[in-house]
Amino acid sequence: MSRTIIVSNRLPTKVQRAADGLHFQPSEGGLATGLGSIYRADGNVWVGWPGLPVDDPAEQAQVTERLQADSMAPVFLSEAEIHAFYEGFSNGTLWPTFHYFSELATHEPSHWQAYQAVNEKFCQAVLALAGPEDTIWVHDYQLLLLPEMLRRERPEATIGFFLHIPFPSYELLRVLPWAAELLRGMLGADLIGFHTFGYMRHFLSAVGHLLGLPTQSGQIETPTRTVLVDAFPMGIDYARYAEAAVSAAAQGYERTYREVLRDTQVILSIDRLDYTKGIALRLRAFEGLLLAHPEWIGKVSLLMIVVPSRDQVAEYAALKEEIDELVGRINAQYRTISWNPINYFYRSFPFEELAAFYHMADVALVTPVRDGMNLVAKEFIAAKGDLPGVLILSDRAGAAQELAEALLINPTDTDQVVEALHQALTMPAEEQRQRLQHMQELVRQYDVFAWTKLFLDRLTYSKIKQHTLTTDVLDADAQAQLLGAYQTASHRLLLFDYDGTLVRFQANPQRAHPDAELLELLRTLADNPHNRVVVISGRDRASLTKWLGDLPLDFIAEHGVWLRRHGEDWQLFQELQATWKREFRPLLEQYVRRTAGSLIEEKDYSLVWHYRRADPGLAALRARELLSHLSFMTANTGLQVLEGNKVLEIKAAGLNKGTAAARWLGPEPPDFILALGDDRTDEDLFAALPPEAYTIKVGRAPRSLARYSVPGPADVRQLLRQLHHADLVARPVPVGA
């Protein structure tokens, strides 16, 4: 049975060393919760570092045994690896670069070497566990090279990758000497996920610029595979926070704190210590509030929790000092005997206590300068239940793309944050509740379980899509079968692309005229009363008429815009195609899930996203995002996006070879169809034909919807000769007999 193997730098269990030996504690991160139900089921397993150096083989065996019993497999890192791979390249190079703090990033070749070596170590650990049928889901910036390493060893594996932090613009990424290698590493996956469409767009643009690969419709064509790229905004375990906030334990904490704080309004701030989180900016804004609105002195407190993190690294130690100093100065200046402006904690709290903080806070102040998503914002929303409360949220957090009812601010604009604080503290309770309710609906619906399912379903889809694009070589057996079917059919349709199929490409397109042998072959095939031969090309009418117009052929010109049946005049074509809807529907469904009240309408030739019944603030934000997403996805696809009244509509802008060929399929459908083509536009033709048609892609190592492939025009010529020969040796039943 196929299993899911989750791989992340850290395991969902923390191993700690104490005087009496090793201790194992569950880690409470969102990822651990979201994937908890998966990795413990059906023999699945989570591979990762247990969080501390364990060099002694006996201890390693103890850790391995203990973790194995809970579906985990440890990867042990030495002190030197932790220094160079984790603190060095991951946190000293990638973290600052991806968060737009390039000036803090180190470019140390020995760290890069360690990063490669540790990714390789993870690769070996996964290979030791993974069977050929297993799904491997790799997480985050510490393991960017891993998908490609796995792919090298297991070309057929199903591999997903999700990045939890922002993906920076190409201009920032290119500063890294190893940017191209990192992108290639990620492209080993079949599906690459980001929190927002913005990150996804940056990634696609970097792949286009640095690797020169085509990146159309959120798909990347590598030499060997199609890689899907998409946005999957991560959710939280909503029920867990909602329930914990009203649990007996949390209520106990809340009562104790309320006794001390009395009727002071509470502004809550929770982060890991990090320069991306804007903690100092937040303190300055709080000070600004007391300055600009002194009426709040004595009436409002900032409850600030900073969870220790990476404090061995110089920048983090300096940041800690800056925060300590600011808190000291503000408290010294404003405090009274009975009131403390800032209650500052530099430690982490148990889960129930955290839930109590969320529940009792009047305002959550979340002001990162960059943040992949920010789960704290969502946890606050879940924990508030029916109580009023206001979320102030930085517009640079991924979560801002979803939480339109928050007070969205630019964290570096201190005056704006000060005014948002004042607005939050004076906002009528009813408005607070309404805004919260809208956001609660969204965060509840799109929780971490929905996120996990969506990602894994999409990964399965990416594999199915790849398989449908795998063609078989037209070998001797297949050729014999094709010729047999041809001989016994009496109503045959032969559809031939021209350039790259019937003739070789020429540097000057005007010189690609047919040679005498081709003209003769086409004539004999078309003279046969059982055959209908259609040349179906992107060429203009004039060239086709000039070169082939004297033959008894039918024509489709300009990719389906014009058609001419033998003996008739050229005419314009009018009919549309709808197969693209399969591709776009899942994207619209995502927006429906994330925008309560919106819906999809499916018409014959279009898909419509209606948002009239959705909350106007959220809908406006989403419509902008979806429009941009769709414009990007539809570029060069022949589709267009129309903005209507509270609707976005995607429809076919034009015609293609598939819609054109459909004219020859009815009302008397042929009993043998052969279609030959070499490029992207011929894929529309292959898609439009029934599955029993002999569809043949012309090209080496092709990815195509066609059933078979042949290497080049010379092989096509050979096939046409064989058809001709088959006609000579065995005539089918005469027409009308």
CB of 232 to ligand GDG, least distance (A): 10
Residue placing its CB nearer to ligand GDG in the complex, 369 or 526: 369
- For residues 573 and 660, the answer to whether their CB atoms sit within 8 Å is yes
Mark 247-276 with x for binding to ligand GDG (rule: CB under 6 A) and - for no binding.
Answer: -----------------------x-x----
Q: Is 165 in the site for ligand GDG (CB under 6 A)?
A: yes
CB of 101 to ligand GDG, least distance (A): 13
* Catalytic entry in 237, 371, 447, 497: 497
- Considering the complex, state which of residue 301 and residue 606 has its C-beta at the smaller distance from ligand GDG: 301
Nearer to ligand GDG, 89 or 380 (CB): 380
CA–CA distance, 4 with 203 (Å, rounded to integer): 26
Of residues 305-324, which lie at the interface with ligand GDG (CB under 6 A)?
305, 307
Part in contact with ligand GDG (CB under 6 A); list of ranges 324-332, 343-351, 422-430, 580-588: 343-351
497 is known as an active-site residue = yes
The verdict on 164 binding ligand GDG (CB under 6 A) reads yes
Query: Among candidates 232, 211, 105, which has minimal Cα distance to 163?
Result: 232
Q: Is 539 helix (H, G, I), strand (E, B) or coil?
A: coil
| Binding-site member from 134, 148, 190, 371 for ligand GDG (CB under 6 A) | 371
416-448 burial, b at 16+ Cβ within 10 Å, e below that, comes to ebbbbbbebbebeeeebbebbebbbbbbbebbb
- Point out which span in 368-376, 388-396, 594-602, 607-615 binds ligand GDG (CB under 6 A): 368-376
Closest CA to 273 of 406, 95, 392: 95
By C-beta, is 374 or 695 nearer to ligand GDG? 374
Strand partners, 674: 494, 694
422 contacts ligand GDG (rule: CB under 6 A): no
Question: From the CB of 30, what's the least distance to ligand GDG, in Å?
Answer: 5
The 279-308 contact track toward ligand GDG, x by CB under 6 A, reads --------------------------x-x-
- Does position 354 interact with ligand GDG (CB under 6 A)? The reply is yes
351 lies in the binding site for ligand GDG (CB under 6 A):
yes
CB of 9 to ligand GDG, least distance (A): 12
**Stretch (H or E) spanning 162:** strand 158-162
Choose between 283 and 652: whose C-beta lies nearer to ligand GDG. 283
Report the helix count and the strand count for the chain, using DSSP H and E.
26, 30
Q: Does 30 bind ligand GDG (CB under 6 A)?
A: yes
H or E stretch including 44? none
Yes or no: say if 137 and 6 are a contact pair by the CB < 8 Å rule.
yes
Give the nearer residue to ligand GDG in terms of CB position, either 234 or 650.
Answer: 234
Tokens of 704: 């195509």
Pairing of strands 694-698, 672-677: parallel
Identify the bridge partners of residue 21 per DSSP, sorted by sequence position. 18
Name the segment binding ligand GDG (CB under 6 A); options: 179-187, 330-338, 348-356, 538-546. 348-356
In the bound state with ligand GDG, the residue whose beta carbon lies nearer, of 193 and 658, is 193
Tokens at residue 73, please?
């497999």
Length of the chain: 737
Instruction: Decide if 267 contacts 363 (C-beta within 8 A).
Output: yes
The nearer residue to ligand GDG, 28 or 715, going by C-beta atoms, is 28
Q: Which is nearer to ligand GDG, 130 or 270 (CB)?
A: 270
**Using the rule CB under 6 A, is 376 a contact of ligand GDG?**
yes
Beta pairing, strands 647-652 & 672-677: unpaired
User: Which of 375, 409, 425, 443 is the binder for ligand GDG (CB under 6 A)?
Assistant: 375
Which residues, 6 or more positions from 268, have their beta carbon under 8 angstroms from its beta carbon? 303, 305, 357, 358, 361, 363, 364, 365, 380
Inter-CA distances, 173 with 102, 209, 628, Å: 9, 11, 22
Tell which one of 22, 24, 26, 28 touches ligand GDG (CB under 6 A): 28
Can you tell me which of 170, 339, 346, 349 binds ligand GDG, judged by CB under 6 A?
Answer: 349
Site string for ligand GDG, 229-248 (x = CB under 6 A): -----x--------------
Min separation Cβ 371 and ligand GDG, Å: 4
Q: Hey, which residues does 160 pair with through a beta bridge?
A: 137, 191
- Whether the CB-CB separation of 399 and 408 falls below 8 Å is answered with no
Query: What is the dihedral sign for C-alpha 620, 445, 590, 391?
Result: positive
Q: Are strands 708-710 and 472-473 parallel, antiparallel or unpaired?
A: parallel
- Residue pair 633/217 in contact by the 8 Å Cβ criterion: yes
Catalytically active residues are 497
Residues that bind ligand GDG in the complex, under the rule CB under 6 A: 28, 30, 164-165, 234, 270, 272, 305, 307, 348-349, 351, 354, 371-376, 379
